[in-house]
Amino acid sequence: MNGTRTNTDTGPLLLRVLFRPKETFEDLSRAEPSPYRIFFKYLVWFALLPPMFAYIGGSRYGWDLGAANPLILAEIQLRIVSMLYFFVLLTAFVSTAFASQWMSETYGARKSLGVHMAMVTILAVPMTVGSVVHLYPHVFINLLVFIPVLIWAMYLLYVGLPVALNIEPEKGMLMASSLVGWLLVGFVTLLGVTVALWTEGLGPSIGA
C-alpha cells in the first residue's frame, strides 16, 4: 500500500504530539497513511524504547518492589524479560489498531487500517516518553509517573479519535470508551497471564 505523503509524515512526530496534539489529529483526518509505513517508521521504535529503558534501569539498579533490597535479575533473565516486554508492546499496539478498525464499523468511522495504526501510534507517544522513568526502576515511582501518562493518553484518545476518524464527538466518546475497555481488559489479561506463568515456574527467579 502506498501512503499519500501529508503533514503527518513531516517533522518529529514525538514533538508534534507533545505540543500540537489537535493539529496532529487534524492532519491525520485528511491523510491516508500506509499501515506498513507507520509501523516501521514509528511504532517499532516506540515499542523499543520502554524495554530498553527497563533493561538499563534493571541492570544498573535492580527493581525496587518496596522491600529492603532491590530485585536484581540475572543478565540473561533481564534480556528475556525485556525482549518479551518489546513483543508484548508491539502486539498491544497492533492488536489495538485492528480492534479500533473492527469497531469503526459499529460507529460509522473511517476504516483504513493505516489511520487506526497512526492513531494508536499517536496515543503511544505519552507512554514512550513516560517510560524514561524505567531508568529508575522503583515500582511506586513508576506508578506515580504512569498515572499522569495514562491520563494524557486518555485525553488524546477522547479528543483525537472523533477528529481523526471523522465522526461526531458523541460517537467518538462511545468508541473511545470501548477502546479504553479493550485496553483495560488487555492490561489485566497480561497481568494475569504473567502472574500465572510465574507461579507455574515459567518466570524469572526473584529469590534473594
Partner 1 sequence: MSENQQIIANEYYHDGVVRFLVVCSMLWAVLGMGAGVYVAAELIWPEIDFGQFWLSFGRLRPLHTNAIIFGFGVSALMATAFYSVQRTCHVPLPTLRLAWVTAMLWQICVLSGGLSLLAGMNSGKEYAELEWPFDIAIAIVWISFGVVFFSTIACRRIKPIYISNWFYGGLIIVIAMLHVVNSLVMPATLLKSYPVYAGAQDAIVQWWYGHNAVGFLLTGGFLGMLYYFLPKLADRPIWSYKLSVVAFWSFTYAYIWAGPHHLHYNSIPDWVQNLGMVMSLILLAPSWATMINGIMTVSSASEKLRTDPALKFIVLSLAFYGLATFEGPMMAIKSVNAVSHFTDWTIGHVHSGALGWNALIVFGTFYYLVPRLVDAKLYSVRLANIHFWLALAGTMLYVLSMWGAGVSQGLLWLSLDEFGEPSFSFKDIMASMPPYYMLRLLGGFTFFLGTLLMIFNLVMTMKGRPTVRVRPPKITATGEAQ
- Contacts with partner 1 by CB under 8 A lie at 65-68, 106-107, 139-140, 143-144, 146-147, 150-151, 168, 170-171, 173-174, 177-178, 180-181, 184-185, 188-189, 191-192, 195-196, 198-200, 206-208
Burial of 68 (0-12, 13-18, 19+ CB in 10 A): exposed
Q: How far is the CB of 6 from partner 1 (least distance, A)?
A: 28
Alpha carbon dihedral 150, 55, 69, 77, in 10-degree steps, equals 120
Q: How far is the CB of 117 from partner 1 (least distance, A)?
A: 23
**Which of 41/70 has CB closer to partner 1?**
70
Q: How far is the CB of 100 from partner 1 (least distance, A)?
A: 15
**Which of 6/177 has CB closer to partner 1?**
177
Q: How far is the CB of 157 from partner 1 (least distance, A)?
A: 13
Q: How far is the CB of 143 from partner 1 (least distance, A)?
A: 4
**Which of 36/136 has CB closer to partner 1?**
136
Q: How far is the CB of 178 from partner 1 (least distance, A)?
A: 7
Q: What are phi and psi of 66, to 5 degrees?
A: 110, -15
Q: What are phi and psi of 138, to 5 degrees?
A: -115, 125
Q: Which residue's C-alpha cell is 458523541?
A: 170
| Angle at CA of residue 35, ends 157 and 43, nearest 5° | 60
Beta strands in the chain (DSSP E): none
**Which of 83/185 has CB closer to partner 1?**
185
Cell of 77: 533473565
**Contact indicator for 63, 69 with CB cutoff of 8 Å:** no
**Which of 31/133 has CB closer to partner 1?**
133
Side chain identity at residue 39, one-letter code: F
**Which of 1/143 has CB closer to partner 1?**
143
Q: What are phi and psi of 161, to 5 degrees?
A: -55, -50
134 by DSSP, 3-state: which?
A: helix
